A and B are shown apart, each in its own frame.
Chain A
Amino acid sequence: MAFEVSIKKDFGEFRLDISFKNHGDRMGILGASGCGKSMTLKCIAGIEKPDQGRIVLNGRVLFDSKEKINVPPRKRNVGYMFQNYALFPTMTIEENIGTGIKRDKEKRNKIIQEQIEKFQLKGLEKRYPRQLSGGQQQRAALARIMAYNPEIIMLDEPFSALDAFLKDTLQQELFETLGHYPGDVIMVSHNRDEIFKFCDTLSVMDQGKVAAGGNTREVFKKPVNVISARLTGCKNISKIQKINSHELLAIDWGMKLKTTEEIDQDIEYVGIRAHRLLPGNTNERVNSMKVELVRYAEAPFEAAYLVKNAMEPDSKDIWWISAKKEFDSAAIAGLPKYLVLPPQELMLLQA
């Protein structure tokens, strides 16, 4: 199980230029909307034609601009789950699931029955898509893809159409079902939580290009550049000036920081996740910053403080998020005098 993509497509003001490989893993593409994630899936599915490049799925060339190969989508054998599921509104769920099956009637009905059972759609066979809830529609769409028996499954923002309350359960369900699927799976999302939960490997996409890639945990743990840091949820990023091999000046925050890691020549930014700042009452600890509050927001389980360096009035804001211990007391009382940016938590980033 493997696929390889290396394609270019020019849209005038926007250029898609990406390449990646996958070997049977569940792969994620993380990117902001409009970065070209969905376009990439469409190119793999054959819905859009790249200007140049090559797409190979399990040794089968689907597209090759040099050899003038462009297999039509219906012969690519790829499963594509659309953001809005794209169930055919004039067909029942049963008929929808049957559309991709190319077998005789008996075999076909058997496959439909199997999928209906597997995706807990029993009793809904004769219903029309609009009579189903969002979660049921998603299951039906997946059942339709599974019945088609594709070599690869591509999920385009699979949870964006669902309300938050349902999301967790449905995510779990979807991940379990796809866990048994032997082929490659690509999931495209702008939501880092979904990607983190589901994907073994990850490509971060920005403005039509792959900005970073690798093992999902690694990319989250140690993003190499500003865009991957930002997309994996790092709120605090500052431009730097290198002082020596283990010390830098964070220009936006107006303070010097010591690092555990050696600062390479190509490092231009430093970042720290909002959850990783530590409170302090004195400036004794290394990388302490005297803070003043700019804004404060309280969520059910955590409190987010937007603060700035009290010694530098022109410095940029920095987020600190701390888990709340109780609901009633005003958490604002919890803002300490100092915040510590622990050296081992600093992420050194390329531009």
Chain B
Amino acid sequence: MLELRSLTKRFADPAAGARTVVEDFDLEVRPGEFCALIGPTGCGKSTVLSMVAGLERPSAGVILADGAELAGTDPRTGFVFQQDNVFPWKTVLGNIAAGPRFRGAGRAEANARALDWIRRVGLAGFEQHYPHQLSGGMRKRVALAQTFVNDPRILLMDEPFSGLDAQTRQIMAGELLELWESLGASVLFVTHDLEEAIALADRVVVLTARPATVKREFTVDLPRPRSPREIRFHPRFVELHEEIWSSLSDEVQIAYARATTVS
């Protein structure tokens, strides 16, 4: 169980003194639950993930994993970034074996585990390729395997598919669901794409415009296993989309109004 309790993040801002990006953020994610966070661009969603990952310190509040405080980076968490962030100087094999190597596994063991994941994400034959020789979708698969090889219990994903074209995105979403179902990790998936959120998640959490707090939660009662491509035509999907959008659109408009007045 992952719990965020009154999580708050303020950044120093020379103009305004301090800028609150996340405020009193409360959320619980059950083991094995896929939870999507959705909110307008720039609302602080990514900051929430960075704090859970241990890359940023909360200004106030705590993060608990199975009842114990989660401080700093933790071996149980994995993070798939918006940019793929694969190491350009490592081969596909080297990139995927990096996690186990960092965590103390020997070269042979790390490579064996990496090879298994290379096969599972469909990159067999590309072990010795460097990232610049791969397409965007393939690099994303490297990033997924790089994270999954560490067998994370808490999987954080920050708009992982936003840089891909629409078709590749759907394919990757389908692959992600299959991998996740075999892994059973709790997922916090940040996105600003509502369709993606509903297609993937068990629960969609709508955030307010900055500072981010939880506005409303929606349970996605769609059957699993799902195909993200076909589920969009399910009548319940359309209903949910309608419902969640009416909650989300206010926040999007607030964020939009701010963005246009500032600039």
Q: Is B a genuine binding partner of A?
A: no
Chain B residues in contact with chain A, CB under 8 A? none
Chain A residues in contact with chain B, CB under 8 A? none
